[in-house]
């Protein structure tokens, strides 16, 4: 019996932190649904780590619920309108993962352009030792980069790319104060002006397929799309078609529409770097995310201000 219920698969470090708070931990929303009514009634705070919808039905099963502390910056699995209606506060874990996600975005871009997966295989296979030369590829520094969504992660990506002497462009809802970066009100115009397009949008219904067929085609046969946001932000069917037909130069993808069930058409693509949604997947950052999730719960239970509220 506990007023804190943690839902999801947590690391050893996080399990220890949760146990210290006296939390009960279950693996999934289904497991939560299977708890006896009396136990569900005790729950005042949920630590949530998952991608399945946490909506009105789930909240109704926890009548004493006051806060859902999401593990992750993207909280698109939690229905904010339902939370508002039920008087439930929602928190997330912003900022602590920005560095890692930005690092991965830059790394995927460099790997894609310098063909480093193929380079490693060229050495390991013995092809290089056997006298086969490795093809030339494309220079990265000094090119034109576009950031789609200039929030905190987008800005951390842009700051890194600027150190590679790139000409910076961006699209966002409104023009921001930047060190001379070029604003594009229209996402297609952004894609047309750059060599690399890095998607750093928030997830959710408003950005569904925001990187449309038109954006992808505007990026063009020499262009590279990097996505570290959510699979939902990109029209994945259009992306696959364009990559297969050579109408898009390449991609670096950490997120997918139906992940982890990645469309097998991706497996055969050579000019693409694929990663298993590991943007924030470092020991350091996951520990910081867990701490922030628990600190939000403690703040709520102690009646203090939430650290990183969403609603």
Number of residues forming the site for a copy of itself (CB under 8 A): 57
> Shortest distance, CB of residue 207 to a copy of itself, whole angstroms?
23
**R_g of the chain, CA atoms, integer Å:** 22
Q: Is 271 a catalytic residue?
A: no
Separation CA 216–CA 141 (nearest Å): 22
Enclosing H/E stretch for 118: helix 116-124
Residue of 91, 250, 226, 235 lying closest to 158 (CA atoms): 226
Residue of 284, 264, 282, 260 lying closest to 272 (CA atoms): 264
Interface characters, 282-311, with a copy of itself (x: CB under 8 A)? xxxxx-------------------------
Binds a copy of itself by CB under 8 A, chosen from 36, 37, 87, 129: 129
Closer of 100 and 295 to a copy of itself (Cβ): 100
Interface characters, 8-47, with a copy of itself (x: CB under 8 A)? -x-x------------------------------------
Q: Which of the ranges 113-121, 144-152, 171-179, 303-311 carries the binding residues for a copy of itself, by CB under 8 A?
A: 113-121
Tell me how far CA of residue 11 lies from CA of 8, 240, 253, 290, in angstroms. Answer: 10, 34, 24, 9
Does residue 264 interact with a copy of itself by CB under 8 A?
yes
Task: Mark 53-76 as b/e (b = at least 16 C-beta within 10 Å).
Answer: ebbeebbeebeebbbbbbbbbbbb
Binds a copy of itself by CB under 8 A, chosen from 20, 124, 173, 245: 124
- φ, ψ of residue 241 to 5 degrees: the values are -60, -45
> Shortest distance, CB of residue 238 to a copy of itself, whole angstroms?
20
Closer of 40 and 277 to a copy of itself (Cβ): 277
> Shortest distance, CB of residue 144 to a copy of itself, whole angstroms?
14
Q: Which of residues 53-112 bind a copy of itself (CB under 8 A)?
A: 99-100, 102-104, 106-108, 110-111
Q: Which of the ranges 23-31, 193-201, 261-269, 289-297 carries the binding residues for a copy of itself, by CB under 8 A?
A: 261-269
Other C-beta atoms lying within 10 Å of the C-beta of residue 147: 30
- Tokens read off for 193: 């002006």
Q: Is 143 a catalytic residue?
A: no
Under a CB-based contact definition with an 8 Å cutoff, are residues 238 and 213 in contact?
yes
Q: Active site residue: 230, 257, 286, 294, which one?
A: 230
Residue of 289, 240, 296, 298 lying closest to 269 (CA atoms): 240
> Shortest distance, CB of residue 255 to a copy of itself, whole angstroms?
11
Q: Which of the ranges 33-41, 87-95, 163-171, 211-219 carries the binding residues for a copy of itself, by CB under 8 A?
A: 163-171
Q: Is 12 a catalytic residue?
A: no
Binds a copy of itself by CB under 8 A, chosen from 123, 175, 222, 237: 123
What contacts 188, CB < 8 A, 6 or more positions away? Answer: 214, 215, 218
Q: Which of residues 185-244 bind a copy of itself (CB under 8 A)?
A: none
CA torsion through residues 97, 280, 174, 106, sign: positive
Residue of 98, 106, 105 lying closest to 163 (CA atoms): 106
The residue assigned the tokens 């628990």 is 294
- φ, ψ of residue 169 to 5 degrees: the values are -130, 160
Sites of contact with a copy of itself (CB under 8 A): 9, 11, 99-100, 102-104, 106-108, 110-111, 114, 116-117, 119-120, 122-124, 126, 128-129, 131, 133-134, 136-142, 159-160, 162-165, 259-262, 264, 266-267, 273-276, 278, 281-286
Residues forming the active site: 230, 259, 277
């Amino acid at each position: 019996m506990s007023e804190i219920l943690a839902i999801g698969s947590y690391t050893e470090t996080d399990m220890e932190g949760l146990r210290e708070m006296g939390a009960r931990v279950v693996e999934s929303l289904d497991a939560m649904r299977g708890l006896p009514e009396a136990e569900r009634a005790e729950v005042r705070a949920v630590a949530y780590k998952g991608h399945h919808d946490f909506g009105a039905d789930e909240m109704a099963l926890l009548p004493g619920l006051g806060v859902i502390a999401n593990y992750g910056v993207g909280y698109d699995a939690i229905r904010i309108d339902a939370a508002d209606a039920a008087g439930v506060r929602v928190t997330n874990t912003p900022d602590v993962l920005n560095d890692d996600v930005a690092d991965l975005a830059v790394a995927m871009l460099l790997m894609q352009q310098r063909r480093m997966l193929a380079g490693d295989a060229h050495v390991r296979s013995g092809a290089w030792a056997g006298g086969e030369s490795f093809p030339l590829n494309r220079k990265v520094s000094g090119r034109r980069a576009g950031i789609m969504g200039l929030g905190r992660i987008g800005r951390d990506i842009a700051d890194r790319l600027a150190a590679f002497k790139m000409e910076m462009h961006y699209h966002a809802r409104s023009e921001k104060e930047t060190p001379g970066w070029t604003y594009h009100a229209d996402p297609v115009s952004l894609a047309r002006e750059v060599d690399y397009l890095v998607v750093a949008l928030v997830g959710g219904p408003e950005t569904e397929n925001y990187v449309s067929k038109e954006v992808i085609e505007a990026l063009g046969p020499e262009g590279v799309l990097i996505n570290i946001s959510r699979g939902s932000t990109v029209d994945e069917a259009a992306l696959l078609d364009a990559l297969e037909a050579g109408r898009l130069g390449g991609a670096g993808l950490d997120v997918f529409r139906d992940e982890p069930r990645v469309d097998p058409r991706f497996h055969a693509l050579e000019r693409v770097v694929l990663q298993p949604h590991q943007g924030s997947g470092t020991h350091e950052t996951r520990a910081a995310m867990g701490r922030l999730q628990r600190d939000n719960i403690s703040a709520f239970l102690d009646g203090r201000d939430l650290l990183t509220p969403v609603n």
